[in-house]
Chains A and B, each alone.
Chain A
């Protein structure tokens, strides 16, 4: 085993453990903090896969923005979250059963797939980011996702603001 593999196993174990804590922590704030740790673990794995750009973006967007948004939402809905009583549905064991089934199915598919033994070639060339930037505004390539992304963000912004601004007088 190479050093990289050992680090991977270590980081993956931490990530999965904190993911388990996210879905099982009783206090919502703790769940959010575990989520931050899980997301940081995923960022490290991105860095190990030579996708440094996305490792940083993961930290920037997920840890810097989405988890802060989640923490704010938790604080705003605090009163309902008295951390008493079960945090899981009554039928949680059914969910657990289904999830184990899904995981087993996925594992079988992954292991039996012939392409799984592929080995990685040399890493990406240094100007992968440059190519990405060029292709994003290239009309023959991905200019559609680029513009659609901005429209989608605009829609999300308008929708979320419309919903969350308190309407004075009467129904929203």
Chain B
């Protein structure tokens, strides 16, 4: 079991190392001639106005919020799905209830207009 995790750890490490090496190698090959105009922010040739970290809509937050709730739900539903073949009908109804409760949350968000793109 731990051997599998060793492999996963190494794989994640290597899959970060490979692009890093490629980018580094390309950096050695490529020319370096910076000049002040070249290294300004790219905003279609127009001078940057104001701070570049602008604020944006609260709508994004709500999508992330609904996502968070459904993501946490998977902690329970994946083990339930793994055990599914050994469950009675009652155990399945329990999970259906679980999903229905969450679905009602989605419906609330829908009715509240939180899912609209504004």
Contact A65 B71, beta carbon cutoff 8 Å: yes
Contact A130 B82, beta carbon cutoff 8 Å: yes
Q: Does A120 contact B (CB under 8 A)?
A: no
- Do A137 and B87 form a contact, CB below 8 Å, given A69-B64, A153-B72? yes
CB distance from A29 to the nearest CB of B (A): 9
Give Cα A75 to B14, complex, Å.
32
Q: Does B53 contact A (CB under 8 A)?
A: yes
A81's nearest neighbour on chain B, judged by CB, is: B53
Q: Does A149 contact B (CB under 8 A)?
A: yes
Contact B83 A75, beta carbon cutoff 8 Å: no
Give Cα A56 to B104, complex, Å.
27
Give the size of the chain B interface in residues (CB under 8 angstroms).
Answer: 49
CB distance from B50 to the nearest CB of A (A): 11
Give Cα A143 to B97, complex, Å.
11
Please give, as numbers and ranges, the residues of chain A lying within 8 Å of B72 by CB-CB distance: 61, 65, 149, 153
Please give, as numbers and ranges, the residues of chain A lying within 8 Å of B53 by CB-CB distance: 75, 78
Please give, as numbers and ranges, the residues of chain A lying within 8 Å of B60 by CB-CB distance: 72, 76
Contact B87 A123, beta carbon cutoff 8 Å: no
Binary flags per residue of A151-163, CB closer than 8 Å to B gives 1, else 0: 1011011101110
Contact A165 B112, beta carbon cutoff 8 Å: yes
> Looking at chain A's contact residues, is the secondary structure mostly helix, strand, loop, or mixed?
helix
Chain B stretch 24-83: residues in CB contact (< 8 A) with chain A: 53, 55-56, 58, 60-62, 64-69, 71-76, 78-83
The one of B62, B81, B102, B113 that contacts A154, using a Cβ cutoff of 8 Å: B102
Give Cα A108 to B8, complex, Å.
37
- Do A76 and B61 form a contact, CB below 8 Å, given A47-B5, A133-B82, A161-B112? yes
Contact B108 A69, beta carbon cutoff 8 Å: no
Chain A stretch 44-102: residues in CB contact (< 8 A) with chain B: 44, 47-48, 50, 52-53, 55, 57, 60-61, 64-66, 68-69, 72-73, 75-76, 78-79
Please give, as numbers and ranges, the residues of chain A lying within 8 Å of B55 by CB-CB distance: 75-76, 78-79
CB distance from B20 to the nearest CB of A (A): 16
Please give, as numbers and ranges, the residues of chain B lying within 8 Å of A133 by CB-CB distance: 78-84, 87
A73's nearest neighbour on chain B, judged by CB, is: B61
Please give, as numbers and ranges, the residues of chain A lying within 8 Å of B67 by CB-CB distance: 65
- Do A157 and B71 form a contact, CB below 8 Å, given A132-B79, A146-B94, A164-B62? no
Please name 23 pairs of A and B residues whose Cβ atoms are closer than 8 Å in the assembled complex, sorted by A.
A47-B5, A60-B71, A60-B74, A61-B72, A61-B75, A69-B61, A76-B61, A130-B82, A132-B79, A134-B83, A137-B90, A146-B98, A147-B101, A149-B72, A149-B76, A150-B97, A154-B102, A154-B105, A157-B66, A158-B105, A160-B65, A164-B58, A165-B112
